[in-house]
Structure 1
Amino acid sequence: MPEIILILVFVIALLVIKKTRGTYEVALAARIGMAAMLVVTGIAHFAFTKGMAMMLPEFIGQRELIIYATGIVEFAAAAGLLLPKFRVLTGWLLILFFVLLLPANIYAAQNHINLQTASHDGNGPGYLWFRIPLQVFFIAWVYLSAVKSEKVPVRG
């Protein structure tokens, strides 16, 4: 679901930017798409707190508080991507955040966590064949659109 939001909002933003500014500003549209995805996933931290808390090993204390905090981090990152002054710093911090999320995704897959139902009937380890490349895709997306990007409009 997050990847669908990312791509859909990216395409819409790209077209709206072209219509309003006369250029395709791919990096800006990509940051808007990522920001939208982060808002949706941030909301999920509050809607599926119990299931997301299950993605963390039991020895970690205050798991629900961590889930709320990471939801707020995602909201802040969404804003940071859209503020030119904070774009690059937010990009680097978001890349670090995505790297740090990987162990939770691995733990959840190994334990068949279904974050939406807060149960142990999730997809299991096979899910990692999708999730790990997706995480790499998110990292590349942020790097190319927020860290490396320069404002080079494409006329067309």
Structure 2
Amino acid sequence: MKPLAVLFASFALFALYALLFRPKLGLGELIRWALGCMFLFTALGHFIYPQGMSAMIPDMIPYRTTLVLLSGLLEIGFGLFLLSGYHKKIVGWAILVFLVLSLPLNIYAAQHQIDYTTGNTDGPGLTYLWFRIPLQLFFMVLIFYANIKTPKGVKLG
């Protein structure tokens, strides 16, 4: 999955930066920066594939494309706040709520085999959930650790 690759790659780059130039940088900050990059990356999909992503929302919900675009803007905001470190706890809780609320949409899309890029029903299907649900929980644990728990004393150097 692309967001996970972006998360790990950006974390590795930030960790290398910290080891070379800022050895006292905390692990929580590195995780926040990597998550910020990941959210900025995932926000792109909302603007590149708005029609396909709107198919992930049940028909009974109005203004589906508008909701996709608004959630993309929200993810940009999350990414920028994560990168800046401002209002860590408030942003952390907001992201946790967002991730909990978006999980049913991922379940719906998997049940209906929605391909988020095209909106067609030839997507990965229910087997995708065996990866997506643990991944969502992993993101939630990282958000909690880096934003809400506010770890102290875990340094790279």
TM-score, length-scaled by structure 1: 0.95
* Structure 1 unaligned spans of 5+: none
> What is the aligned-residue RMSD (CA, Å)?
1.3
Identical counterparts, % of pairs: 33
**Equivalent runs, 1:20-99 vs 2, <5 Å:** 20-99=21-100
Q: CA deviation at 1:117?
A: 2.0
Q: Is the 8 A contact 1:35 1:81 kept in 2?
A: yes
Please identify, of 17-26 and 46-55, the stretch whose mean Cα deviation from structure 2 is larger: 17-26
TM-score, length-scaled by structure 2: 0.94
* Structure 2 unaligned spans of 5+: none
Which whole-Å deviations, capped at 9, do the CAs of 1:60-104 have from their partners, x for residues lacking one?
Answer: 000000000000000001111233331111011001100000110
Q: Which position in structure 2 is the counterpart of 1:130?
A: 131
Aligned mates of 1:84, 1:6 — CA distance in 2: 17
Q: Is the 8 A contact 2:6 2:37 kept in 1?
A: yes
Q: Is the 8 A contact 2:56 2:119 kept in 1?
A: no
Aligned mates of 1:84, 1:107 — CA distance in 2: 33
- What SS does the aligned partner of 1:104 have? helix
